[in-house]
Amino acid sequence: MRIHKPLTTVNVLLSLFVVCVAHSFADVTLPWHVFDNHMVLQRDMPLPVWGWAEPGEEVTVKLDDKTNAKATADQQGNWKVTLPAIKADGQSHRLTVVGINRIEIEDVLIGDVWIGSGQSNMEWTVNQSDNAQQEMAAATYPEIRCVMIPQAMSEQPQATCDARWTVCTPESVGGFSGVAYYFARRLHRELGVPVGIICSSWGGTPIEAWTSREAQVNVKQLEEALKVHDDHRHSWHRTGVLYNAMVAPLIPYAITGVIWYQGEANAFDWSGGAENPRPCGRAHLFGQQLKVLADDWRGKWGQGDFPFIWAQLANFYQHTPDSTPEQIKTFGQKEPSEQDGWVIVQEQMVKALEHKNTGIAIINDIGLPHDVHPTNKQAVGYRMAQWALARHYGKPIVPCGPLYRGMHLQGDQIVIEFDYTGSGLQAKGGQLNGFAIAGADREFVWADAKLAGDQVVVWSDQIKQPAAVRYAWARYPVPVTLYNKEGLPASAFRTDDW
């Protein structure tokens, strides 16, 4: 509960005087969606606190009695202070803001704050995920806090939205983003600090809507996408409208970084309905769009190149109503390779890792053939935290599953080299599957493959002069077999650019 304490008066006359004159001044106020009871403030970083008041009004901000900062509202009534960096201490704090009126925000924790954004797979809640009842019953984590930003769109950047911090309890966690919660839970368990998650997501939305328009209009490669997403038929797809309403109000709240689960809307053209998704011709732009998104948000926050970690698309095949169980089970095994927007987006997500301080969680082993929403959100959150723990927090663990690094010819075989092999490669189930090989004619056939230390050797008796290899190059490869010994799957890849 926010406490708005009245001004102290010496006597009745002074009280009446205050009442008479106060009506001509505006109360100091805050963006309540981030500054409210149970909030988490980012540790080890300068802390912006901002709001609105009467122009010229002096505002004082204190955290307990240890810090004290002052600002004067400008002609538009805006004010901002920056509190000094504070270490996580496991204590509950009070944030006090005083102007004409007094605001006290209680139960403030110091820890790490992450934004979780994207489309429906980030929006998918704990109570929609695997083992929901058991997970909710065990969710007594008073130092995990969550804000769920309401879905909205705007043509102009907004300053506020209607949201509140919620403490993680068995009663409240069911409505949290599943991915964000399982990500936060692993960080909290392993780091021992409070974790705040600000979740801003909307199902079925493209990346263009989450990136400010000004960040996209000058990128020549994105001209095609910009033309499509001013399309009035899909208003929530318009360029920048979700950034304006669901991201801009969060800036410049101090954060650690961003986790991002989106890409489905850019892999397919869904205009024919969910039963008939068509390959999307803009999938090849997705890596560029990820880099523009990360640069846009980092620039707006002004905190430098904070971590930006995305979940790669899971394996998925939207089967038709008359598909038999056997057809669904064997999809991805009929042909040794396919060109499809889904796997192109997966590839683009790996290529975008060249961008500074970005990361990936590979999840091509948890998808469902009949549903674009994998219910195993535990694995997604865990693997996103894996990268964060390895790369941002410096834990001595491998960040993700194997990623293709290079190849070389060895007679009539191709030898594949990988990054992130961890303590070694393994063939889950005892045998490698899902590899295809081609010669200069570009005709792929299924290939044999074997482990050779931290490399994979690929060949086929049908191809005497091999030129290229592809692995898991399908929307729903069955099964995914290449892992590192830490149990993390390898990403789909191709050695060619055909």
318 has pLDDT over 70 = no
Q: Which residue has the higher pLDDT, 10 or 109?
A: 109
Least confident of 14-23, 344-353, 484-493: 14-23
pLDDT of res. 325: 56
**pLDDT digits 0-9 by tens, 167-193:** 999 999 999 999 999 999 999 999 999
Please, which pLDDT band fits residue 336 given cuts at 50, 70 and 90? confident
61 with 103: CB under 8 angstroms? no
What mean pLDDT value characterizes the chain?
89
Strands 40-42 and 67-72: unpaired
CA 143 to chain centre: 21
Q: What are phi and psi of 30, to 5 degrees?
A: -130, 165
Domain with CATH 2.20.130 in the chain: 3-106
CATH 3.40.50.1110, the chain: domain bounds: 110-392
- Dmax (CA) of the chain: 100
Share of the chain above pLDDT 90, in %: 78
Cα dihedral sign, 97-254-123-136: negative
Alpha-carbon torsion, ordered 164, 211, 358, 356, to 10 deg: -130
Do strands 435-438 and 445-446 pair parallel, antiparallel, or not at all (unpaired)? antiparallel
Residue 129, class by beta-carbon neighbours within 10 Å (0-12 exposed, 13-18 middle, 19+ buried)?
buried
Whether cis (ω within 30° of 0) applies to the bond prior to 48 is no
pTM assigned to the model: 0.91
End-to-end, the C-alpha distance of the chain in Å comes to 60
Q: What is the mean pLDDT of residues 151-179?
A: 97
Q: Domain 110-392 belongs to what topology?
A: Rossmann fold (3.40.50)
For residue 177, the 8-state DSSP code is B
In the CATH hierarchy, which top-level class contains the domain 3-106?
mainly beta
pLDDT band at 77 (very low <50, low <70, confident <90, very high): very high
Calpha distance 46→43 (Å, rounded): 8
CB-based contact 468:438 (threshold 8 Å): yes
pLDDT digits 0-9 by tens, 179-231: 999 999 999 999 999 999 999 999 999 999 999 999 998 888 787 667 665 85
